[in-house]
Amino acid sequence: MLGQLNHVAIAVPDIKAAAETYRQKFNAKVSDAVPQPDHGVITVFVDLGNTKIELLEPLGENSPIAGFLAKNPKGGIHHICIEVDDIEAACLKMNDEGVTITGTGKPKIGAHGKPVVFLHPKDLNGTLVELEQA
C-alpha cells in the first residue's frame, strides 16, 4: 500500500532563515517561499532528488502547526508524507485497521494540489503521517 517517501516536513519559526541554511550550508536546490492560506502555512521545498524536505512556517491565526512550534520553539520534524496509489482505498484500510484519520476523516487537497489525509500520531509511534495520492 505504501509508495515512496514524498517529503519530510520540518516546522520552523523563520522560513527565510531555514531556507538560507539549506541553500548556503548545503548548496541545496531550494524553492521560493509560498504562502498557502488554505493550509495556514508558508512552504519551501528543498529538493533532494528522490524526495524533499518541506519547510513549514505558520501563517495566520489558526495555523495547524502553531501548537507544535509553541512546544518546539526552534522547530522540529512535524510529519512525514508517504505516497499511496489510491487514497480512498487507503482511508478504508485505515478505518478497518483502527488507525485514526485526523479532521473529517476524508481526504482534502494538500499543499501540492493532491488529495491527502493525516494519520494520528497516537496510532503510529508518535509520528504524524501524511498519505498523499501519488
According to the 3-state scheme, what is the secondary structure of 11-40?
A: ECCCHHHHHHHHHHHHCCEECCCEEECCCC
Rounded least distance, CB 97 to Co ion, Å: 21
Q: Between 57 and 130, whose beta carbon lies closer to Co ion?
A: 130
**Which residue among 59, 81, 91, 119 contacts Co ion (CB under 5 A)?**
81
Site residue total, Co ion (CB under 5 A): 3
Rounded least distance, CB 9 to Co ion, Å: 4
- Catalytic residue of the set 20, 54, 61, 130: 130
Please indicate whether residue 130 is annotated as part of the active site: yes
Unique residue bearing C-alpha cell 494540489 = 113
Cα–Cα dist 37/31, whole Å:
18
**Residue partners of 71: CB distance under 8 A and separation at least 6:** none
123 three-class SS:
helix
Q: In sequence order, which ranges of 27-104 are alpha helices (DSSP H)?
A: 66-71, 87-97
Q: Per-residue contact track with Co ion, 18 to 57, x per CB under 5 A?
A: ----------------------------------------
Q: What count of other Cβ atoms lies within 10 Å of the Cβ of residue 23?
A: 14
Q: Which window, 21-29, 32-40, 68-76, 124-132, contacts Co ion (CB under 5 A)?
A: 124-132
Q: Which window, 5-13, 19-27, 31-39, 99-107, contacts Co ion (CB under 5 A)?
A: 5-13
Active site residues: 130
Residues contributing to the site for Co ion (CB under 5 A) = 9, 81, 130
